[in-house]
Amino acid sequence: MLTARTTLGDWLDDPVGGPLVRDLLGDVSDLGPARVFALDDLVALSQGRLTRANVDDMVRAANGGELVVAAVPKKAAVPMPVRDDLTLADIQIRDPFLLRHGDNYWLYGSTDSNIWAGPGTGFDTYRSADLHTWEGPVPAFRPPAGFWSDGMFWAPEVHSYQGRWFMFATFTAPDGYRGTQILVAGEPQGPFEPWSAGAITPREWQCLDGTLFVDPDAQPWIVFCQEWTQIQDGAIWAQRLAPDLRAPVGEPVLLFHASAAPWARTLPHAPGSYVTDGPFLFRLDSGNLIMLWSSFGDQGYAMGVAHSSSGLVTGPWTQEDHALWATDGGHGMILRHPDGRLLLTLHQPNTTPHERAVIHPLTEDSLEKDHQ
């Protein structure tokens, strides 16, 4: 049964729904990652060219004249057995975030089997002593009764701050608006509980992928994306936070739009639209402040580097000409190993359910080029 929340891929694979979508969109041979979007996501993506009424008409046409509405059932999570012999190749995960605490590494990320639709379970974490063999999954967050989001739980990051552990994670409300909420726990493995009152990003913006940055004056900030689905040319913003991380302070500051990067390309199915994903800020030994962030390049999902000319979160920010990671992977972060080495973690490929975390060594020189 096809509904407005059925993915474009499932519509296209259906003998009735496929012709309806092709009549609407024309050539669909290059949809790529857009196949995971629901049909009614096209209302926002089309910038007004497609209306909710058009979507309802398609659902009726696919269901013999009946407007079938998707149910979003609550279901009990079936716990997965905890294993202690996993490798990264065994763990489906997007938007990976790596934390070192004591002698252990903790890996977090978008861990629902289908993060694009349906009820969400929460976030799991995995523990390792050597980055090769992992133990898990350990439930790090499960939504409490009455939680404001039913699904699309994305991109958790965990930061140590003032003696506790804070998770910054993206959630989507039933009305379609999404934002980053801050959660808290006493241990890196959780369980995490809501800390901010809902999303801490602007409530009527489409926001995602918030990350914590603490400036040299100990002022905490959240750096986050405003989605291309709302503004077409995706943007990255910084917002000061209260010292306890419970509320925003002042107004958000625009850092840059995705089109500022020479390596970024518009989406093939949405000409003129540029993605911003996964900002992560890191200060090099030189004192220079860089930001990893992701978009789409010539070879699909990619990740580039921006540099703050002032060394402050407010920039101004300049972009590298070429992507740091150019081929079908991104949403990365950097971990400094106790011996001084830098480790880059990202997911690759970008296709569900095949995405996996990969870890690669980095050098400071590779991140400083042309910005000495």
Whether the predicted pLDDT of 75 surpasses 90: no
342-348 sheet: strands from edge to edge: 330-336, 342-348, 356-362
Mean pLDDT, residues 334-351:
94
Q: How far apart are CA 222 and CA 245, in angstroms?
A: 9
69 belongs to a structural domain: no
Single pTM value for the model: 0.80
Q: How far apart are CA 334 and CA 342, in angstroms?
A: 7
In this structure, the answer to whether residues 175 and 295 fall within a common structural domain is yes
Could you identify the residue written with the tokens 């039913």?
150
In this structure, the answer to whether residues 339 and 248 fall within a common structural domain is yes
Among 57-71, 106-120, 178-192, the least confident range: 57-71
In this structure, the answer to whether residues 296 and 240 fall within a common structural domain is yes
180 belongs to a structural domain: yes
In this structure, the answer to whether residues 207 and 352 fall within a common structural domain is yes
- In order, the DSSP letters of 134-167 are EEEEEEEE-PPTT-S--EEEEEEEEEEETTEEEE
pLDDT value, residue 232: 96
207 belongs to a structural domain: yes
Q: How far apart are CA 329 and CA 294, in angstroms?
A: 9
Mean pLDDT, residues 23-29:
73
Q: Are 113 and 123 in contact (CB under 8 A)?
A: no
Other CB atoms within 10 Å distance of the CB of residue 187: 12
Number of H helices, E strands in the chain: 6, 20
Residue 24: domain span: 8-62
Q: How far apart are CA 232 and CA 226, in angstroms?
A: 10
Cα-based distances in Å from 371 to 59, 107, 111, 364: 53, 31, 36, 11
Both tokens assigned to 142: 């499960």
In this structure, the answer to whether residues 30 and 96 fall within a common structural domain is no
> 306 pLDDT band (50/70/90 cuts)?
very high
In this structure, the answer to whether residues 32 and 136 fall within a common structural domain is no
Whether the predicted pLDDT of 77 surpasses 60: no
In this structure, the answer to whether residues 56 and 150 fall within a common structural domain is no
Both tokens assigned to 327: 């081929």
In this structure, the answer to whether residues 283 and 174 fall within a common structural domain is yes
Whether the predicted pLDDT of 371 surpasses 50: no
Q: Highest mean pLDDT: which of 68-72, 145-149, 251-255? A: 251-255
In this structure, the answer to whether residues 21 and 112 fall within a common structural domain is no
Whether the predicted pLDDT of 32 surpasses 80: no
In this structure, the answer to whether residues 55 and 91 fall within a common structural domain is no
Indicate the number of domains in the chain: 2
Reference 94, options 37, 169, 35, 148; nearest CA is 169
Whole-number percent of the chain with pLDDT over 70: 89
**pLDDT tens per residue, range 235-292:** 999 999 999 999 999 999 999 999 999 999 999 888 899 999 999 999 999 999 999 9
Alpha helices in the chain (DSSP H): 8-13, 17-25, 42-45, 52-62, 228-231, 364-368
pLDDT value, residue 123: 98
Whether the predicted pLDDT of 54 surpasses 80: no
In this structure, the answer to whether residues 51 and 169 fall within a common structural domain is no
pLDDT value, residue 73: 43
Q: How far apart are CA 103 and CA 127, in angstroms?
A: 10
3 belongs to a structural domain: no
220-226 sheet: strands from edge to edge: 207-214, 220-226, 235-241, 248-257
Listed as own residue / partner, the contacts of 292-296 with beta carbons closer than 8 Å and 24 or more positions apart are 292/324, 292/332, 292/333, 292/334, 293/225, 293/236, 294/330, 294/331, 294/332, 295/234, 295/258, 295/261, 295/263, 295/264, 295/265, 295/330, 296/264, 296/265, 296/266, 296/267
pLDDT value, residue 346: 98
For 225, the 3-state DSSP assignment is: strand
Whether the predicted pLDDT of 88 surpasses 80: yes
Q: What residues pair up with 237 in beta bridges, in sequence order?
A: 224, 254
- In order, the DSSP letters of 182-217 are EEEESSTT---EE-SSS-SS-TTS-EEEEEEEE-TT
> Pick the residue with more confidence: 347 or 269?
347
72 belongs to a structural domain: no
Whether the predicted pLDDT of 205 surpasses 90: yes
176 belongs to a structural domain: yes
In this structure, the answer to whether residues 306 and 169 fall within a common structural domain is yes
Whole-number percent of the chain with pLDDT over 90: 69
175 contacts: CB under 8 Å, gap ≥ 6: none
pLDDT value, residue 290: 98
